[in-house]
Structure 1
Amino acid sequence: MTGDHYFTAEPTTAAHPREVEFSVAGRDYTLASAGGVFSAARLDPGTAVLLRKAELPTGATGDLLDIGSGYGPISCVLADLAPGATVWAVDVNERARALTAANAARVGAADRVHAVAPDEVPADVTFAQIWSNPPIRIGKDELHELLRRWLPRLAPDGVAWLVVARHLGGDSLHRWLVDAGWQVERHASQKGYRVLRVTR
Structure 2
Amino acid sequence: MASEHYFSEMPESELKFRQIRVPLAGQTFELTTSNGIFSPERIDAGTQVLLANTPPAPPGGNLLDLGCGWGPIALTLALQSPHATVWAVDVNSRALDLVRRNAEAIGVTNINAVTPEDVPADLSFMSIRSNPPIRVGKNELHGMLEFWLPRLDPDSDAWLVVQRNLGSDSLHRWLEGWLPADFAISRAATNKGYRVLRVRRK
Aligned letter for 1:179? G
Conserved in 2, the CA contact under 8 Å of 1:24 and 1:51?
A: no
1:131 and 1:159 map into 2 onto residues whose CA distance is: 9
Conserved in 1, the CA contact under 8 Å of 2:25 and 2:79?
A: no
Q: Which residue of 1 aligns with 2:39?
A: 39
Q: Which residue of 1 aligns with 2:86?
A: 87
Deviation at 1:41, TM superposition (A): 1.2
Aligned letter for 1:168? L
Query: Secondary structure at the residue paired with 2:165?
Result: helix
- Which consecutive unaligned segments of at least 5 residues does structure 2 have? none
Conserved in 2, the CA contact under 8 Å of 1:20 and 1:43?
A: no
2:95 and 2:26 map into 1 onto residues whose CA distance is: 25
Aligned letter for 1:124? D
Aligned letter for 1:92? V
How high is the TM-score relative to the length of structure 1? 0.95
Deviation at 1:25, TM superposition (A): 4.4
Query: Secondary structure at the residue paired with 2:84?
Result: strand
Aligned letter for 1:19? Q
Q: Deviations over 1:29-56 (max 9, x none)?
A: 3221000011111111100110111112
After TM superposition, which residue ranges in structure 1, 4 or more long, deviate above 3 angstroms? none
- Which consecutive unaligned segments of at least 5 residues does structure 1 have? none
How high is the TM-score relative to the length of structure 2? 0.94
1:25 and 1:117 map into 2 onto residues whose CA distance is: 25
Aligned letter for 2:122? D
Deviation at 1:124, TM superposition (A): 1.1
Q: Deviations over 1:125-183 (max 9, x none)?
A: 10000010000000011100000010010001111010000000011111111111231
2:26 and 2:156 map into 1 onto residues whose CA distance is: 26
Conserved in 2, the CA contact under 8 Å of 1:2 and 1:13?
A: no
Query: Secondary structure at the residue paired with 2:2?
Result: coil
What are the residue-to-residue correspondences of 1:169-184 with 2, within 5 Å? 169-181=167-179, 182-184=183-185
